[in-house]
Chain A
Amino acid sequence: MGPVRFRILGPMEIEGGAGPGVSHTPKAAKLRALLGTLLVRANQVVSVESLVTELWQDEPPRTATSTLHVYVSQLRKLLATVDPARGRELLRTQPPGYRLALAPDLLDLSVFEGLHRLGREALADGRYHDAADLQSRAVALLRGPLLSDTPHGPLLEGAAAQLAEAGAAALDQRIRADLQLGRHHELIAELRSLATQHPLREELHGHLMLALYRAGRQAEALQAFAALRKLLVAELAVEPGPPLQRLHRRILAGDPGLLLPATGQGGSAAARNGAGGTASPGAPAGAALPPADPVFTGRDTALARVEELLRQAPAGSFVAVTGQPGVGKTAFALEAAHRSGPAFPDGRLFLDLQPEPGHPLPATKAISTLLRRRGVRLAHGAGAGELRDAWQQQLMGRQLLLVLDNADSEAQLRPLLPTTAGSSAIVTTRRLPAGFGGIRPVLLDALDPEEARLLFAAAAGPERAAAEPAAVRELLELCGRLPLAIRVVAAQLTARPHWSAASLVDRLRDERFRLGDLHIGELDARTPLLRAYRDARPELRRAFRLLGLLPAGPFGRAAAGAVLGLPPAETARLLDGLIEDRLLVDADRAGHQVPELLRVLAVERLDEEESPQDIGDAIERLCEEYARTAEQVSAVLTGARPGGEEPPEPAGWFTRERDALVGAVRQAHRAGRLTAAVRLVAALDGHLETHAAWDAWAETHALALDAARRCGDRGAEVRTLRSLGDLAWQQRRLEEAEEHYGLARRIAEETGQRAELSRALVGLAELRMDTGDGAAVEALLTAALAAAPDPAAPRARFDVLRALGFHALAAGDRTRAGTRFTACLDLARTLRDRRLESFARRALRTARSGPGHRLEVRPGVWRLPGPGRSPGRPFSRA
């Protein structure tokens, strides 16, 4: 009796020892759903919770768990019937659920996945016969949608979507392999049928266009494009994607690069040919170059530059494509290589120099592989010198283009590079090898917003991009506009049709889980980022982690120096090292920036690898640096002219840095560095008031108040309360202002802080002005004046005299108001504060001319009567 076999690529079929004629498929739908779920997750533990959700979704019965046990028991009986010898052992209880243990060849899904994977590798390796055969066998296993006779919960629904994509990919790759094998004539009928069945699948239309073109039916190829375009415009109001448009242009231009060479054979054929150190005469151009990424989008300027560099490349020169991990260096290099085909009629070769992460290919092995792909067979045990000579001889007099992916070191690369004219190379590498004279670097950055949107639309489909444009925009920003991450989210949305872009945005907003969530199947955003981090030297890794304390966006060297705790020269050296390792980018005048997803990684690594003490110390240094700069900027702007270096563009400093400053206060408070938080907030006070940055003002001061109370700093407590009173007053939250000023007054009286007492009393007096209580205003301002004797507290005294001036103005005594504003002007000059000085001058003018219905009662703050009580202006034509 043979083993039990399961088929789920279509309706469920269970074949037991009795042979194919006897069906063991359970009739009960729930049982089929349970078995189907366990089969889809074969050899993995599926939790009871997941199974309950799968069977009953959001409305499980009260007895769901016990009912599930009954189903499991029935399933075990069924398996025992199908395979009496081993059936019962297949389904095992393993916390937190169940596991169906199954050899891969007993489940058609596993067989399909194996064939598809091998086919993909064969295609990437240029073994087109193998690829076509393997993918053809994989496709033949598909009898319909996954478990088409079984009700689907979220898990099966996702798996079905994933299988549909994998099936489409297998078919696509089989067709690609067939096209490489010159089978375009045979493919046309099938492609026409497929294009009709799947009218919106652009890649099928692309294959059809190519097949027609290669069959000499150029006009029909163009008609196929026109028909698709018409359909897309009519149905979705979108144009065909960039890859198809590019193909269209190339057909219009009669690009010979689209045609296969006369031999029409794949790389594997070439590899089988030749012996004795000579190349196969039939070695085809284009052999062993993987297909270009079908959804590759954008980067037109960089591609044009590479094409130009390759066209004009002197002997010994090569293009080095570099950029942060995940930026799409390989896809870019392949696209560039495909575009440059006509310039290299002797062929294009691709080699991954680091097929296993962390294990770079030795140069000798790389040369052997390249020679083998060119059909050169060397005697066993050939030495390194012989290999190098054979390789250079292979390149001599030919026009070959090498694509060397993931280059690790100069030693690895040097023997591979062409040294004679005609041939050239595109090398992808994260770190530029500095020792080459002929290097032509091309730096790839994250995509710009429009390119990112186009890539997403190409990968996830134009409907997805058009359905939720705002959510997609945010999604792409959360991905740092990094191509790899964009591919991941596009694949996630394709595999899970019930997810919306907005729901994915919600998941990814939480930085703690973002990198973990950017993962599906073989696509994983964290791995290359983590690899780049681990490849860096220890001192750079530490610097990278600490930079995670800085908020998103550009930062200056001073802030970086503060978190690193290093002098400027040392900081600059480390930042340069991080830039070379592509863990940091230069943001021109704005300073430096850790790219978004790398920043998330830095935060993750910081929490994992740094001690709380070191993190706290770094935060404290950062707060001190920000506080120092805030004071310096304030002094520059008010005209006090401090010594030392003037901060760049001081007028825009606060607006630029606001989020960073609030972030620093938040971090200091969270880390328990209370004094640092209090100190920074005190330095920000004037900036927050002048910019009426209400949200930031409220948040920072609430944290500072808590910090001041927890560390027993009564002075800071009073100052913060008074500032919160000023905020509430500015916002016209009068009850809140009364409360804050009142509390500040009480504590200032208790602790003898006369200047702050005076300012709190002025605040209370200004509130009384609102209620029209002139006597109370008089009393409060008299007390405030007494608390701020000249010259001990000039700023507080300025405020008292300012309020007294307006009080006099309210009483109609313009002479007295003028005297008080003149005193304000003198104090402002003493304080060397041109903001207060200009305000005092304006107040003096008001006193002379008489008040209007609008009055500037504090610098920049005008009091207006209620709505409808001031003269408006007419409307008119322009």
Chain B
Amino acid sequence: MTVESTAIVSPGLDHGLLGHATRHLIHCPPSWDHHPLEAPSGGEQRFLLTGDAPSTHPLFNDGPGHFHDPQLVTEAVQEVGEFIGQQYFGVPADRPGLFYRVDFGVTEVAAWRARRGAARMTTELRATAANTVNGVPRGLDFRVAVSLDDVPCATGIASLVFVMPGLHRTQVAHSRWAVRAVPELADEPDGPVRPVEPGAVGRASAANAVVSEPSRSSRGRLSTWIMPSRDNPALGATPDGHLTGTLLLESLRQASVLTAGHAAGLAPERALLASCEVRFRDYADAELPVRCATVPGPGGRDAAGRPTVPVTLTLTQNRRTVAEARTTVVQDF
């Protein structure tokens, strides 16, 4: 499965040289010997991505506005991961970088509360080459540390694999064939599905509600369907027919909030994804429905006494696992 993330490239001269809302990505070389990009490094490389956290983003700022969206972390890594591989680790430009593991954990909930005025967000990324063949890494591992207005508030790891173009095409074709090859495993909604009320998943715009109204099974388990947006390509399909990564991560977030609300009564407008561990197992074909099954764990409290609910999620397409995730939803007033 291949899924594209938010991908809006502005036309004309808006290439980051002029205008607001720019950020800096700073490379801090451990050795100046590797500073010339012509001599890629095999060791750990440190980067800082800094700038204002968005305040008018159509997805991340949609909702009651109590928090900055921790998905900004995964978005940031997603955004620069491939670039870092190509610029600083000598990965050929024709190898797309695909994330297969994303973990993050909020370490200071209070720092994520949105306040008046812009918040400065700094993400430190430490990148290490993985599985190097002939001096070219097949993947990169990132250790991430985030601070908002200089307060350290989240850490994470992410792993990226660079796939050779031919292999990538073969994988995509095989995945598409495999998901259709066994019709008896077909899994689709029994009837028409309706999106959830956006307020139930912490959003305000109906265009951003990307999971269906859930059906309940035993012990608080929920089952929902992912509903790609027709209006927002970031929450839809990529040109090669896969669901975008942003859609998958947002659907995991929404399903988590929904489950925590059903299981423990956590208020969606005050719910924050405090941790998220995702493993992507396959591509998500945009033409087939994706089911999201969730299981809430026993509710607890974090160190500051806030209610928390762990949720285990599985995304499947024709009973084939697309992604598995464990999240923790925290309620903060």
**A interface residues, Cβ below 8 angstroms from B:** 637-638, 651-652, 655, 690-692, 730-733, 769-772, 774, 806, 809-812, 834-835, 838, 841-842, 851-855, 857, 859-878
Contacts and interface: CB of A to CB of B under 8 A. Distances in A.
B283 interface: yes
B26 interface: yes
A638 B32 contact: yes
A860 B35 contact: yes
A731 B120 CA distance: 9
Contacts of A854: 16, 25, 83
B17 A810 contact: yes
Contact of B20 (A771, A806, A811): A771
B59 interface: yes
B78 A872 contact: yes
A695 to B, nearest CB: 9
B13 interface: yes
Given A651-B32, A861-B24, A871 B99 contact: no
A770 B22 contact: yes
B17 A873 contact: no
A878 B246 contact: no
21 contacts: A651-B32, A690-B28, A731-B50, A733-B120, A851-B17, A853-B10, A861-B24, A863-B22, A864-B16, A864-B23, A864-B24, A864-B25, A864-B79, A868-B60, A873-B4, A873-B81, A873-B245, A874-B2, A874-B244, A877-B100, A877-B283
B18 A853 contact: no
A865 B323 CA distance: 30
Contact of A872 (B25, B35, B50, B246): B246
B21 to A, nearest CB: 3
Contact of B17 (A730, A863, A872): A863
Contacts of A651: 30-33
A852 B79 CA distance: 14
A448 B20 CA distance: 52
A551 to B, nearest CB: 21
A865 B2 contact: no
A732 B20 CA distance: 11
B30 A652 contact: yes
A432 B58 CA distance: 74
A866 B21 contact: yes
Interface string B158-174: 01110100000001000
Contact of A868 (B3, B22, B75, B83): B75
Given A651-B31, A652-B31, A874-B242, A862 B14 contact: no
A867 B280 contact: no
B59 A868 contact: yes
A608 to B, nearest CB: 38
Contact of A878 (B21, B36, B101): B101
B15 A852 contact: yes
B235 to A, nearest CB: 11
Nearest to A772: B18
B31 A869 contact: no
Given A834-B36, A862-B24, A863-B23, A869 B18 contact: no
A855 B13 CA distance: 12
Nearest to A806: B17
Nearest to B19: A772
B96 interface: yes
A852 B171 CA distance: 29
Interface in B50-94: 50-54, 57-60, 72, 75-76, 78-83
From A835, A851, A853, A867, name the one whose CB has the most chain B CB atoms within 10 angstroms: A867
B164 to A, nearest CB: 13
A872 B97 CA distance: 9
B108 interface: no
> Which residue, B33, B36, B171, has most C-beta atoms of chain A within 10 A?
B36
- Residue from B10, B17, B48 with most neighbouring chain A CB atoms (10 Å): B17
A149 B281 CA distance: 68
A652 B171 CA distance: 42
B283 A860 contact: no
A875 B100 contact: yes
Contacts of A842: 37
A852 B25 CA distance: 14
A872 B60 CA distance: 15
Given A834-B36, A874-B3, A874-B242, A866 B50 contact: no
